[in-house]
Amino acid sequence: MTNGQNTMIYAALAVILVVVLASSFYSFSQLGTLNAKIADLQSNGNNAALLSSLTSRIQSLEQKIQELQVTAKVVLFYDSSCTFCNNNYMLNSVDQTRQILAQQGIGLNVVDIKDNPRAALASGVRNVPVFFAGKSDLSSNSKLVGFFNSLAQLQFALQESDDGVTAYPPATAKVIQNTSCQESGKVNVEEFYSPTCAFCRPVYYANGTRYNDAGRDAQFSTLSGDAANATRLKFGDKLALQQRCLDIHTLDENRDVLNLTQSDGALCIEQNGEAALDESEAAADLYGVTGAPTFVIDCQYITKVRDADQLQRAICDLRPELCKGLPEPTLPPEILAAIRNQTANAANGTT
């Protein structure tokens, strides 16, 4: 190919670029066509260096076009020093998430707070990893609201902060600004619950009928209180358990749902005393806990599991040295009994 032909090719590409930008500044399809032309021309080695430079310029223009389209932003805060946090749950799909959001006019920033948590704290974020969106961005882009609603369907916990909304994944998180209370040979576990939390404790209507009956709804088959007590029995002296009652549901909520005449706060005081409630509320504020059930391990790591095996796995992930020599998880007694009966029936030739 001659220099004259090269010049014509570059001139043609320049014209294509000008036409694309002038006719439809926001058109990704036209830029995609231009990228395809560049890919075809790259087969000629003589043009590789110049085409590479042109490709870089096109990519820069694509980035600027995306930035001009952005009407709202999401921030993903995480801490790379937290090896036990499930950062990869969100980071592994960050490029795909960024592309999906960009198509809806939403930008995504990824911020590692390992050395500087001030940006997260300034946004009202207490735990990481987390997605955060500010109030003004949420009000200016309805698709951003839709994104957070879709996270809720994936079992992310949505919470209001001082400046916006946070979405925490269903995984272990780290409290940003709190020191560990880790002790040698022992794990400290705090369970935050409320007396009317259907996934925490047995809950009853005022007439004594069970509200969260697992016989009617399998989602109530595991409760955090049972998980905490089973874990305490399994770990023995290796575990220090503090169960903290929280004032979550108001009198009106309890009256409307359960026909009760007391708020969660009143029920907590009735069970444990006012001083214990004050202590629980202070601890919840320290960790950024706003819902139940929630477990805090060694004053720094938060998980929202409510199953005994899940809780024990979280502890063993954080403190593997404490799990050496512990018995493996066993099936519930009723299942073991059913298996024994089935085996006996098979041996007797009955069904």
Question: Is residue 173 pLDDT above 50, yes or no?
Answer: yes
Same-domain status, 234 and 272: yes
Instruction: Report if residue 331 sits inside a domain.
Output: no
- Do 202 and 313 reside in the same domain of the chain? yes
Determine, yes or no, domain membership for 61: yes
Assess whether 217 and 284 both reside in one domain. yes
Residues 78 and 210 in one domain: no
Question: Is the distance from CB of 123 to CB of 163 less than 8 angstroms?
Answer: yes
Q: What is the pTM of this model?
A: 0.66
Q: Tell me the pairing of strands 187-193 and 294-297.
A: antiparallel
Q: How confident is the model at residue 178 (pLDDT cuts 50, 70, 90)?
A: confident
Residues 6+ apart with CB under 8 A from 87: 78, 79, 80, 129
Whether residue 60 lies inside any domain: the answer is yes
Which one is predicted more confidently, 140 or 46?
140
Range of the structural domain that residue 295 is part of? 180-322
Residue 226 has pLDDT above 70, yes or no: yes
Average pLDDT, the chain: 81
Distance of CA 147 to the CA centre of its chain: 13
In this prediction, residue 181 carries a pLDDT of 93
In the chain, the percentage of residues whose pLDDT exceeds 90 is: 46
pLDDT above 70 coverage of the chain, percent: 74
With 50 as the cut, is the pLDDT of residue 143 above it?
yes
On whether residue 242 sits in a domain, the answer given is yes
Could you tell me the pLDDT band of residue 55, with boundaries at 50, 70 and 90? confident
Q: 246-282, pLDDT tens digit by residue?
A: 999 999 999 999 999 999 999 999 999 999 999 999 9
- State the pLDDT confidence band at 227, using cuts at 50, 70 and 90: very high
Q: Is residue 278 part of a domain?
A: yes
Residue 234: CATH number of its domain: 3.40.30.10
pLDDT tens, position by position, 94-113 = 899 898 888 888 999 999 99
Confidence of residue 84 (pLDDT cuts 50, 70, 90): confident
Domain shared by 289 and 156, yes or no: no
**Is 133 contained in some domain?**
yes
Residues 226, 297: one domain? yes
- Residue 138 maps to a domain: yes
User: Could you report the per-residue pLDDT of 23-43, keeping only the tens digit for each?
Assistant: 444 444 555 555 666 566 555
pLDDT of residue 330: 56
Domain match, 250 and 317 both? yes
pLDDT score recorded for residue 202: 96
Greater model confidence, 205 or 32? 205
Amino acid 190: pLDDT: 97
Total domains in the chain come to 3
pLDDT of residue 331: 53
Confidence (pLDDT) at 349:
62
For residues 59 and 94, membership in a common domain is answered with no
Per-residue pLDDT band for 9 (boundaries 50, 70, 90) equals very low
Q: Are 263 and 217 in contact (CB under 8 A)?
A: no
**Do residue 318 and residue 233 come from a single domain?**
yes
User: Does the pLDDT at position 329 exceed 80?
Assistant: no
Mean pLDDT (whole number) for 48-59:
70
Asked if 214 and 161 sit in the same domain, the reply is no
End position of a domain, from candidates 15, 47, 68: 68
Asked which of 174, 191, 223 is the last residue of a domain, the reply is: 174
Residue 21: pLDDT band with limits 50, 70, 90: very low
Please indicate, yes or no, if residue 347 is contained in any of the structural domains. Answer: no
pLDDT of residue 10: 40
Pick the last residue of a domain from 139, 174, 209.
174
Same structural domain, 280 and 310: yes
Res 335: pLDDT: 57
pLDDT exceeds 70 at position 333: no
pLDDT at 278 (0 to 100): 97
Question: Do 318 and 235 share a structural domain?
Answer: yes
State the pairing for strand pair 127-128/173-175: antiparallel
Instruction: Give the per-residue pLDDT at 15.
Output: 41
